[in-house]
A and B are shown apart, each in its own frame.
Chain A
Amino acid sequence: DQQVKQNSPSLSVQEGRISILNCDYTNSMFDYFLWYKKYPAEGPTFLISISSIKDKNEDGRFTVFLNKSAKHLSLHIVPSQPGDSAVYFCAARDSWGKLQFGAGTQVVVTP
């Protein structure tokens, strides 16, 4: 039972524009959310996180928004750069401390 869902398997965006990645979850007990980025042949690397007590966290070009009532998480990348082309996974921590991941969104930034 997939409790974290990324419904867009892919996203294409022009360089310099905003990339918006979405993530929905079903478990209201999730207390911490993270985004990871993965390049081919490498392991996922941590990008940004947000606690459930906040609704926004910003780190440079990356901003994560959390809407608890809608059980929705989004990642904004502004401006998008070619090096941002990767697979992005959202993850949520459950009450057992386990991280549950979405299926990922492949982002392609075009010149």
Chain B
Amino acid sequence: KAGVTQTPRYLIKTRGQQVTLSCSPISGHRSVSWYQQTPGQGLQFLFEYFSETQRNKGNFPGRFSGRQFSNSRSEMNVSTLELGDSALYLCASSFRSTGAGANVLTFGAGSRLTVL
């Protein structure tokens, strides 16, 4: 059973640019959550999508957006990149929405974004 796949694994952008990250969940999983990991801050929740609908959103500016397709694959986009956006972006999938009872997330290896 393939795990959660994130692409690209590494990328370098400059300030002001935008970036799109992709996540393919485990087959059959309909929920995809995105997290930002920075040193000392742990994992900060960005948003969750379930059946193409955003179910939950964290406290990030509107420059961070996402979407989910009918095959459950998800993308997140960050526009007008800032230096502080440099981080590891993790995607996690689960069968049910995280609000629907006990639920364990399976994470991908992440996309490491560096903003220069």
What A residues does B25 contact at CB under 8 A?
Answer: none
**Contact of B90 with A98 in the complex, beta carbons under 8 Å:** no
**Contact of B45 with A97 in the complex, beta carbons under 8 Å:** no
Q: Which residues B9-62 have CB closer than 8 A to chain A? A: 33, 35, 40-45, 48, 55-56, 58
Decide if B4 is an interface residue (CB 8 Å cutoff).
yes
Number of interface residues of A (CB under 8 A): 27
**Contact of B102 with A99 in the complex, beta carbons under 8 Å:** no
Given contacts A34-B104, A43-B4, A43-B90, contact A97 B109 (CB under 8 A): no
**Contact of B42 with A96 in the complex, beta carbons under 8 Å:** no
Kindly specify which of A13-21, A45-53, A61-69, A72-80 makes contact with the partner chain.
A45-53
Interface residue tally on B, bucketed by range: 20 to 34
What B residues does A46 contact at CB under 8 A?
Answer: 104-106
**Contact of B43 with A98 in the complex, beta carbons under 8 Å:** no
Q: Which residues A1-39 have CB closer than 8 A to chain B? A: 2, 4, 6, 9, 32, 34, 36
**Contact of A101 with B109 in the complex, beta carbons under 8 Å:** no
Decide if A100 is an interface residue (CB 8 Å cutoff).
yes
A interface residues, Cβ below 8 angstroms from B: 2, 4, 6, 9, 32, 34, 36, 41-46, 49, 51, 89, 91, 93, 96-104
- In the complex, besides A43-B108, A89-B42, A98-B48, 12 extra interface pairs with C-beta distance below 8 angstroms are A6-B42, A32-B102, A34-B104, A36-B107, A45-B106, A49-B102, A49-B104, A91-B43, A97-B56, A98-B45, A100-B45, A101-B42
